[in-house]
Structure 1
Amino acid sequence: MLNTFSSVRQYLKFDLTRVVIDNFVFKLHYRWTFVMLLVATLLITSRQYIGEHIQCISDGVIAPVINTFCFFTPTFTVVRDLNHTVFRPGSEPPGIGHYDASKDQIKRHAYYQWVPFVLFFQALCFYVPHFLWKKWEGGRVKALVFGLKMVGLTRYLKNDSLRIGKLNIPSMAEAEERIKDIRRTMIDRMRLNQSWGAHLVFTEFLNLVNLLLQITWTNRFLGGQFLDLGPKAIKGRWSEELSVLDIVFPKVTKCRFHKYGAGGSLQDHDTLCVMALNIMNEKIYTILWFWYAFLLTVTVLGLIWRLLTLCLYRNLTFTRWSLYWAKPGRLDEKELAAVIDKCNFSNWMFLFFLRTNLSEFLFKKVIYHLASEFPNPETDNDINAYRDMGASTSSSTVKARYPDINGLDTVDAPLLHQRHPATPPVSVLPDPSDMTKMPV
């Protein structure tokens, strides 16, 4: 069994170095639902668990021939025998009673031939939004935070990094350089690539659209019986009435086979077929009904959350709570306010994913470096002004206000500016009366 499902094992690995670029709801679509549908596909196509998919009984016809014929030719059940009032517990299976081709209405069943193909196609559809988002995201978050997962241990490493298996623990000097890279990238994003957040919202909305399409398609695929399949299946489980699962997924069906006899006349063989495949189909689609119901609820809640972030991302209280929810840790409110005041939605989401992937120790440094670039008129938060005070203010005052001022990176900072630009020097002509006093 483990060998059968080894192909989906790679999607269930727990990787400490994995970089988060989406949320929990997104993962339910492209990881859990994707894997669930792949496992269902493997179960349907594996004969070792349910045996032959169809076994038919007929006199005068070789078993392999009739089995193959009835599997590729839709079987049917008699609609008259599918009535709840006709069925009695312990009686013959529903839908296989006496059949008069000229009078009785029949219901053909051909979906079981397409179940593995449909399940596999649906699995790919659930992966498409993640594929698009990963392409649009471009690996920017991973390029910045990769290798910084264990940065809490860097305080014990000064100049040399440490590698333990697949984990690379950077030194303090390397971590400081990575912080500067994050700051530079964040500042560059203030002016470029403003569609990053819009792509994220689009793919999250695409998850909902895809889920609704898959529910609608599954309902049509099962003859309009999927939308209320779950509640009816639970109800039929505890009652003696005919279960909806026996109607949608009949275990015994009828099949007609024609062949020419020894005298050249056409012989009609009324065949009874045992559909072992439907034993698995009914369980798969019942589980999918409950999973889709749960997934639809969570997806709608996720989009409500995304709407709140679009409306409240500039609110300090909301941002502090959101970043704490992403990963617990306290942040300086003044520095955080200085940063989010200059952010649009795309920049805010970029900060959110940075917080998700970075430790509190490192993210505080990122916020500090970013806040130093954005002057705050209320607190006079201007690093360059403090640097240029010189003799007017003692260096101890500056260090008390910004303890890490010497560690700030001032190279390639497009948003650094001074409040009062230097006044160009004015040349003064000498007094003519003093010309005679000048030495020759």
Structure 2
Amino acid sequence: MTSLLGIVNKATKVFFDSNSISVDNWTFKCFYRVTGALCIASSFLVTARQFFGSPVVCDAGAASDGIRPEVLDGYCWMYATFKIPIEYKGPCASSEQEMLEGIIYNSYYQWVPIYLFLLSALFYLPRCLWLIMEGGLMKFFGKGTTTRVIEDPEEKRDKLVEFFRANIHNKYNIYYFGFMFCELLNVFVVLLAFWLTDKFLNHRFLAYGFKVYAFYRLPPEEQSIGPFINPMCYTFPRISSCNYYRYGTGGKQESINAICILALNIINDKVFLVIWWWFVFLLGVGVTRIFFRSIQVNSARLRFYLMKIRMSRFFKRNEDMDKIRSYICNCSRGDWFVLYQLSKNLNRPFFMDFLSKLTRMMEMEKKNPNCKGLDEGDGFFDMMLQPNLRAYTSDDKDDKDDDDDEEEEDKD
């Protein structure tokens, strides 16, 4: 078990880039990080034969003479019809269900591990899109400013303030609305995952969790009688039937019917039950977040209070509080969103100093009659390329120049 958890942990770290810089929020992380880890862990779990045994074990009864068990099991795992005879009265079987549906082909069991892995990749797509749109902006601002002790804080503060005024001020509304689009895309991905999983499980997933909850709320004596069918057995039957064809001693083909036990389905039914409830939770969180964003977009006062809640201890003792309030309430939505993201990543005293200096500079620029008018903003592709082409190249160039100066000093 320890080795299995180690593999899952390594796969999760490789698949999900976890670092100290945050470019989203906790709800966004629930979609791509928690869901991805859950699907990958489940994918490894359903392939752990050393814990749950063979996925299928078949018994041909009196006709089993001359049949190798591993051959029969392998054949039925690949080509079984999974139709339980009407006469079968064992557990997890319903003659009414079989009469209504006829022959059932449940070959999707073989694809469960692969499907779960692909599902985790699907939930990571909005994250990939946002990383492209974000362009490494938070990483640039966070270079040397996230630690407890910051070297040359005033120099870095002035450099970042100037960069913000020149490259971000009134230009990054698309940055904010791009993030909102990715949040909306997360909700769409959940709905798509519901639909795909329902198709994958032969249209038995949409109400799967609710039906299981309703079934197990019934008294035990009612669960085994009447028209009630255990949804877990209905979606993931433990008992199946398989028609195995072989050539007999006379050279003619003969059909042998075998009853098979699908041991792996005692894990599959619980895995997809957890996934169903997790999808419901994600859907609720995602819709709530979109509703909150719609209010946030139209309320400058709410945006200020969100910043105040995050920086309350520093706001209380700041001398420029009135100016900061005025700036945050009147700045563009893109400016506020970039500042709010910075408040989550930068050293908090440094960020407070940065925000105060930025507010004073904006106040001076507003009072200066020779200052330029408001920039209408960059286009979509300009916004994505801006941090890379302007910030990184200039920053890397400065670092390279510093290194060259140090080498010349060493030579002297």
2:104 is the counterpart of 1:107: yes
Where does residue 189 of structure 1 map in the other structure? 168
| 1:369 aligns with one of 351, 357, 367 | 357
Question: Using a 3 Å threshold, how does the CA distance of structure 1 residues 362 and 381 change in structure 2: closer, same or farther?
Answer: farther
Counterpart of 1:76, as a letter, is: F
2-structure distance, mates of 1:94, 1:357: 53
| Equivalent position amino acid for 2:255 in 1 | D
Q: Separation in 2 of the partners of 1:123 and 1:307?
A: 28
Aligned residue among 213, 216, 220 for 2:199: 220
1:89-104 equivalences in 2 (<5 Å): 91-95=89-93
- Report what 1:234 is aligned to: 213
**Counterpart Cα distance in 1 of 2:288 and 2:13:** 25
Which of the numbers 148, 161, 170 marks the counterpart of 2:150?
Answer: 170
**Which residue of structure 1 aligns with residue 72 of structure 2?**
66
Query: How far apart, CA to CA, are the structure 2 residues paired with 1:69 and 1:142?
Result: 54
Distance 2:81 2:309 in 1: 54
The alpha carbon displacement at 1:340 in A equals 2.8
TM-score by length of 2: 0.77
The 2-side partners of 1:145 and 1:284 are apart by 39
In structure 1, the gaps of 5 or more residues are 82-86, 152-168, 386-440
Q: Which residue of 1 is the match for residue 23 of structure 2?
A: 21
Cross-structure match for 1:126: 123
Match of 1:273 in 2: 260
SS at match of 1:374: helix
Q: Radius of gyration: which is bigger?
A: 1
What secondary structure does 2:146 align onto? Answer: coil
The verdict on how the C-alpha distance between 1:281 and 1:310 changes in structure 2, with shifts beyond 3 A counting, is same
Q: Give 1:136's aligned residue.
A: 133
Written as runs of structure 1 = structure 2, the 5 A alignment for 1:294-313 is: 294-312=281-299
Which residue is 1:84 aligned to? none
Let me know the Cα RMSD of the aligned residues: 3.2
Q: Which moved more, 1:219-228 or 1:238-247?
A: 238-247
Give CA deviations for 1:203-260 in whole Å, capped at 9, x if unaligned. Answer: 1111111110001111121122212211221233353233111111111100001112
Q: Give the match for residue 186 of structure 2.
A: 207
Which amino acid is 1:283 matched to?
K
CA distance in 2, matches of 1:117, 1:383: 64
Letter in structure 1 aligned against 2:253: L
Q: Which residue of 2 aligns with 1:6?
A: 6
Q: Which runs of 5+ in 2 are unaligned?
A: 372-412
- Pair 96,202 (structure 1): closer, same or farther in 2 beyond 3 Å: closer
Distance 1:180 1:28 in 2: 36
SS at match of 1:108: coil
Corresponding residue of 2:308: 324
Give yes or no for contact 2:304–2:325 (8 Å, CA) kept in 1. Answer: no
Amino acid at match of 2:24: D
C-alpha separation between the residues in 2 aligned to 1:190 and 1:69? 66
Q: Deviations over 1:131-154 (max 9, x none)?
A: 111122111112112433344xxx
Partner secondary structure for residue 375 of structure 1: helix
Alignment check: 8 A CA contact 2:81 2:105 kept: yes
Identity %: 25
Corresponding residue for residue 375 of structure 2: none
**Does the CA contact (< 8 Å) of 2:146 and 2:345 recur in 1?**
yes
The farther-off stretch of 124-133 and 359-368 is: 359-368
When residues 193 and 318 of structure 1 are mapped into structure 2, their CA distance, relative to the original with a 3 A threshold, is: closer
Aligned partners of 1:79 and 1:105 also within 8 Å: no
Q: CA contact under 8 A between 1:375 and 1:381: conserved in structure 2? A: yes
Q: Which has the higher contact order (CA 8 A, sep 6+)?
A: 2
Quote the offset at 1:123 in angstroms: 0.4
- Residue 75 of structure 1, CA deviation: 3.0
Change (3 A) 1:212 1:184: same
Aligned residues: 351
Kindly indicate which of the two structures has a greater share of residues assigned to helix. Answer: 2
Q: Is the 8 A contact 2:80 2:243 kept in 1?
A: no
User: What one-letter code is carried by the residue in structure 2 that aligns with 1:266?
Assistant: Q
Tell me how far 1:37 sits from its aligned partner.
Answer: 0.2
C-alpha distance in structure 2 between counterparts of 1:353 and 1:213, whole Å: 29
Q: Report deviation, 1:321.
A: 1.5
SS in 2 for 1:227: coil
CA distance in 1: counterparts of 2:94 and 2:254, whole angstroms? 20
What is the aligned partner in structure 1 of residue 407 from structure 2? none
Residue identity in the other structure for 2:53 = G
Cα deviation per residue 1:122-180 (whole Å; 9 max; x = unaligned)?
000111111111122111112112433344xxxxxxxxxxxxxxxxx323xx1112211
Contact 2:142 2:346 in 1 (8 A): yes
